[in-house]
C-alpha cells in the first residue's frame, strides 16, 4: 500500500475503506475482508455508529496495532471544549485502542476552535497521532488557521471528478494540510460508473471506471476512502497502484469538474 507523510511525519496510506453506512456484523465482515485484501486505513466516525465494530474487527484480524491506521471524527454533539475532551475518550473506548491515528472535527462547527484545543492537548499527550478537520471550505479553513497551534494534518472533504476542489487543494498545499477525498465516487451519483470519459479511459488502460476515478485523485496528491461492502469491489478499488494516467488523460478528467457540490454541504 502506497503511503504519504503528513505534515508531522506520520505515514498514512493513500487509500482506505470508507465505512459510512456499514453497521453491526456486516461492518465487521467488511473490515475483516478489507484487511485480508490489504487495506490498512479505515475511516469511521462517531456519527456512523460503528467505531466499536471497526475496533473489534481490528482485534480479530491479529494484525499489530502499528500496521493499522484508523481515522475517526467528532460530531456536533461534542461541539465544545469539554465535549471534545469526552468525545476523544469515547472514541478511544469504543475502538478499544490506546491511540487514534487521525482524529477530525467532522464539520466546521461554530465551536470548532475550542474543540480543536482539546484535540491539540491529546495530540501532545500522544493519544492522537495526527489531528485535523473535515468539510472546511477555503474561508473557514483560513480563518481556522489563525486560531490553531497545530496546523491540521488533513481536511477531509467531498472530492470527486465532478467536484474537484482545486482552489481548496492549492490553498491547503501551501499551508501543509493534506486533502482527503470523501465520496470519491460521488456515492454513485450522476451515473458515476457509466461516465463515458471514465469508461473510455478504462478501456484504454485496461482498468474500470472506478479505478480510473481513484487513480486520478491519487495523481493529484489526494488520498481516497472509497466505501464498498463487496469483496470484489474492495479488491478492484485497491488495485490502482500499478498504472499511471498520462497528462492528456488527466486533462480530460479535469474537464468533468462542474465546480459544485453534489451533496449540498457548502
Ligand atoms: N467527512 C465527511 O463528512 C464524510 C461524508 C461522506 C462520506 N465520508 C467518508 O467517505 C467514505 C466514502 O464515501 P461514500 O460512502 O459516501 O461513497 P463512495 O465511496 O463515493 O461510493 C460508495 C458507493 O459506490 C459503490 N461502489 C464502491 N466501489 C465500487 C466499484 N468498484 N464499482 C461500482 N460501485 C462501487 C458502493 O456500493 P457497494 O457498497 O454496494 O459496493 C457504494 O454504493 C464514506 O464511507 C465515509 O467513510 C465522509
List the pLDDT tens digit at each of the 266 positions of the chain.
799 999 999 999 999 999 999 999 999 999 999 999 999 999 999 999 999 999 999 999 999 999 999 999 999 999 999 999 999 999 999 999 999 999 999 999 999 999 999 999 999 999 999 999 999 999 999 999 999 999 999 999 999 999 999 999 999 999 999 999 999 999 999 999 999 999 999 999 999 999 999 999 999 999 999 999 999 999 999 999 999 999 999 999 999 999 999 998 65
Instruction: Give the residue whose CA is nearest to atom 14 of ligand 1.
Output: 183
In a domain, residue 135? The reply is yes
Pull the grid cell for residue 183.
465520496
> What pLDDT score was predicted for residue 1?
79
* 72 and 58 Cβ atoms separated by less than 8 Å: no
Cα–Cα distance for residue pair 32/118, rounded to 1 Å: 32
Q: Per residue in 181-234, pLDDT tens?
A: 999 999 999 999 999 999 999 999 999 999 999 999 999 999 999 999 999 999
In a domain, residue 203? The reply is no
Instruction: Give the residue whose CA is nearest to atom 10 of ligand 1.
Output: 182
In ligand 1, the atom with minimum distance to the C-alpha of 236 is 31
Specify which residues 78 forms β-bridges with: none
- Measured at the CA of 169, the angle between CA 163 and CA 171, to 5 degrees, comes to 135
- What residues have CB less than 8 Å from 128, skipping those under 6 apart? 88, 99, 100, 101, 102, 103, 119, 122
Cα–Cα distance for residue pair 3/128, rounded to 1 Å: 19
Name which of 94, 113, 97 is nearest 64 in CA terms: 97
Cα–Cα distance for residue pair 175/122, rounded to 1 Å: 22
How much distance in Å is there from the Cα of 247 to the middle of ligand 1? 27
In a domain, residue 220? The reply is no
Cα–Cα distance for residue pair 134/33, rounded to 1 Å: 27
In a domain, residue 198? The reply is no
> What pLDDT score was predicted for residue 266?
54
Phi, psi of 231, deg, nearest 5: -55, -45
In a domain, residue 207? The reply is no
Instruction: Give the residue whose CA is nearest to atom 26 of ligand 1.
Output: 228
Total domain count, the chain: 1
Q: Considering 39, 48, 109, 123, which one is annotated as catalytic? A: 48
Q: Indicate the helix (H) or strand (E) that contains 129.
A: strand 128-134
Domain that holds residue 146: 10-187
In a domain, residue 241? The reply is no
How much distance in Å is there from the Cα of 81 to the middle of ligand 1? 31
In a domain, residue 242? The reply is no
Secondary structure of residue 261 in the 3-state scheme: coil
Q: Is the CB of 265 under 6 A from ligand 1?
A: no
Q: Is the CB of 193 under 6 A from ligand 1?
A: yes
In ligand 1, the atom with minimum distance to the C-alpha of 160 is 20
> What pLDDT score was predicted for residue 264?
86
Is 48 known to be catalytic?
Answer: yes
How much distance in Å is there from the Cα of 116 to the middle of ligand 1? 27
Q: Is the CB of 71 under 6 A from ligand 1?
A: no
How much distance in Å is there from the Cα of 225 to the middle of ligand 1? 8
In a domain, residue 253? The reply is no
Question: Which CATH number do you get for residue 158?
Answer: 3.20.20.100
The structure's pTM equals 0.98
Our CA dihedral for 58, 240, 5, 93, rounded to 10 degrees, sits at -20
Cα–Cα distance for residue pair 208/214, rounded to 1 Å: 10
Amino acid at each position: 500500500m502506497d503511503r504519504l507523510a503528513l505534515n508531522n511525519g506520520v505515514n498514512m496510506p493513500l487509500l482506505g475503506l470508507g465505512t459510512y453506512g456499514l453497521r453491526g456484523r456486516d461492518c465487521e465482515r467488511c473490515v475483516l475482508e478489507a484487511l485480508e485484501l490489504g487495506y490498512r486505513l479505515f475511516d469511521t466516525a462517531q456519527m456512523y455508529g460503528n467505531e466499536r465494530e471497526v475496533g473489534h474487527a481490528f482485534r480479530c484480524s491479529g494484525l499489530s496495532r502499528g500496521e493499522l491506521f484508523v481515522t475517526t471524527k467528532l460530531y456536533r454533539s461534542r461541539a465544545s471544549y469539554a465535549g471534545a475532551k469526552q468525545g476523544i475518550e469515547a472514541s478511544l473506548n469504543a475502538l478499544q485502542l490506546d491511540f487514534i491515528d487521525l482524529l477530525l472535527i467532522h464539520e466546521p462547527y461554530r465551536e470548532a476552535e475550542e474543540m480543536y484545543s482539546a484535540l491539540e492537548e491529546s495530540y501532545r499527550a500522544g493519544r492522537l497521532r495526527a489531528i485535523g478537520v473535515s468539510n472546511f471550505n477555503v474561508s473557514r479553513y483560513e480563518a481556522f488557521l489563525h486560531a490553531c497551534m497545530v496546523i491540521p494534518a488533513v481536511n477531509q472533504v467531498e472530492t470527486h471528478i465532478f467536484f474537484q476542489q482545486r482552489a481548496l487543494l492549492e490553498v491547503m498545499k501551501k499551508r501543509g494540510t493534506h486533502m482527503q477525498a470523501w465520496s470519491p465516487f460521488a456515492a454513485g451519483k450522476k451515473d458515476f460508473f457509466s461516465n463515458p470519459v471514465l469508461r473510455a479511459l478504462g478501456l484504454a488502460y485496461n482498468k474500470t471506471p472506478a479505478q480510473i476515478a481513484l487513480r486520478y485523485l491519487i495523481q493529484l496528491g489526494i488520498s481516497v476512502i472509497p466505501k464498498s461492502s463487496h469483496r470484489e469491489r474492495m479488491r478492484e478499488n485497491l488495485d490502482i497502484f500499478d498504472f499511471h494516467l498520462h497528462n492528456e488523460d488527466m486533462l480530460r478528467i479535469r474537464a468533468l469538474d462542474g465546480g459544485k457540490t453534489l451533496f449540498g454541504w457548502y
